[in-house]
Amino acid sequence: YQRRVHGVDASLLKCIQRQDQPLLAVEPYLQGKYVKHTNNFGYVSKEDRSTPQAFSHWTYCQSKGKLLICDIQGVDDFYTDPQIHSRDGTGFGAGNLGSVGIRKFFDTHRCNSICQFLRLPPHQAKAPDA
């Protein structure tokens, strides 16, 4: 079983010749059907694909419960604009909902065949200061 997940390369441009020198985030156009698979508060699309859910679960396990990448969206398995939740709620912008966001993901997550193949353990909540 092999399925590759790709992150889209993004760049930040500073418009130095414009007033206030605004910043622009840019990334390549993704051809195909754009789908928001999950958000940062437990939403799961009706398509309920296994790969985005398993990817988020895997990121949690790989970080030993310190981080979870969610808000998975894009075309096929080319993902863009994710959100990272950290257990302590620090870093990664205003969308980082900390342990609450991690809990919300696991409230709606149901392990699937990819989670099982990767031998991801069922989620057990960790205390915010653990």
- Cα separation values, 18 from 11, 21, 27, 43, 70, Å: 18, 5, 21, 38, 34
- Per-residue pLDDT, 3: 77
State the chain's mean pLDDT as an integer: 93
Q: What is the mean pLDDT of residues 40-67?
A: 96
Position 126 pLDDT exceeds 90: no
Residue 129 has pLDDT above 60, yes or no: no
